[in-house]
């Protein structure tokens, strides 16, 4: 995971924690996604050729995919546990 993040975003992860593992079955494929909360050395993102853009949001767009909503909810729950 550390190598992949560095390769795709230019970010160097120094600490990580698994948030959850998601399994989704579609007609054409089976996806397994592992979501991590990461702490990085710096915050300057440099995308590789596999990606064309990234965005930061103050609030979630209405068009966000349902699966991403679940990951974000799990992340928020995890962060709330740490601050309690």
pTM over 0.85: no
CA angle 78, 71, 41 (to 5 degrees): 65
pLDDT number for residue 18: 93
DSSP states along 39-80: EES-------TT-------SS--TT--HHHHHHHHHHHHHHH
Could you report the average pLDDT of every consecutive run of 10 residues in the chain (84 residues)? 94 94 92 92 91 88 87 86 62
């Amino acid at each position: 995971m550390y190598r992949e993040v560095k390769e795709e975003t230019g970010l160097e992860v120094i600490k990580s924690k698994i948030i959850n593992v998601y399994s989704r079955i579609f007609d054409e494929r089976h996806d397994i996604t592992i979501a991590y909360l990461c702490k990085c050395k710096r915050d300057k993102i440099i995308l590789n050729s596999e990606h064309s853009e990234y965005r930061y949001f103050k609030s979630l767009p209405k068009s966000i995919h349902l699966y991403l909503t679940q990951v974000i909810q799990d992340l928020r729950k995890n962060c709330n546990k740490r601050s309690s």
